[in-house]
A = this chain, B = another copy of it.
Amino acid sequence: MAARFYCSQIGDETARLDDSESHHALHVMRLKVGDDLELFDGQGRVCHGNIADADRRQVSVAVSRIVDSARPNRPRLVVAAAPPRGDRLKSMVEKLTELGVDEFIPLRTVRSVVDPRQSRLEKLRSTVIGAMKQSGRNHLMQICEPCEFSVALRNATAAGQSVWIAHPGEAAGNAVETVQRDALLLIGPEGGFTNEEVLQATDYDAERLSWPEGILRIETASVLFAGLLLQRM
């Protein structure tokens, strides 16, 4: 597989990498004029080409072939999780991108402790692109603005999404059968959802998911339950 780069605007005959992608091509991957590469625009457009021109800071690509790659033929999955601390958030976003999750919402809950600012959200968008280069995914995972728990629930129901909430307890299980509609997966903060939050979700017909063997960290629960839902879509 030729090295992959992100390019938001792929022309029919030429494309130009931005500074960061040019740097990656020239100084990390050490590509030279004539070398093959693959570009993706995050909307499904994929282009094969080679480097036509490169100065120290910018790479121009001669496009040889463009393919429109279709979205996976399944319902959409939105993961709304209370952001974990530090690098765990970045690692979680990377893994959700690899799996194919469509949107990530940083969730504000009663016990949330991390509320990423705009600069952090921008960095997470770069993380998504990094993961797409490596995994071969061609459609961006959207990093949404932080959202209150109750608003996320209301929006999901208005959009006709099924709602799934990870919360330990005897009433819960993880034997997901088939997921036929778009879905919202809710993952709580380190201290868990409050009882009121769980009741509120139940009012919206949320189905509970749990892992009987132990308490999972935020990022572990996000990746695991996103995987279980995607597998059943």
Contact = CB atoms under 8 A, between A and B. Distances in A.
A117 B175 CA distance: 39
Given A228-B228, A228-B231, A231-B228, A72 B213 contact: yes
Dominant secondary structure of chain A at its interface with chain B: helix
Nearest to A96: B220
Interface residues of A, number: 29
A114 to B, nearest CB: 17
B95 A220 contact: yes
A135 B214 contact: yes
A230 B174 CA distance: 11
A197 to B, nearest CB: 19
Which among A175, A211, A227 has the greatest number of chain B C-beta atoms within 10 A? A227
A213 B214 CA distance: 28
Interface of A: 72, 87, 91, 94-95, 98-100, 134-137, 174-175, 211-217, 219-220, 223-224, 227-228, 230-231
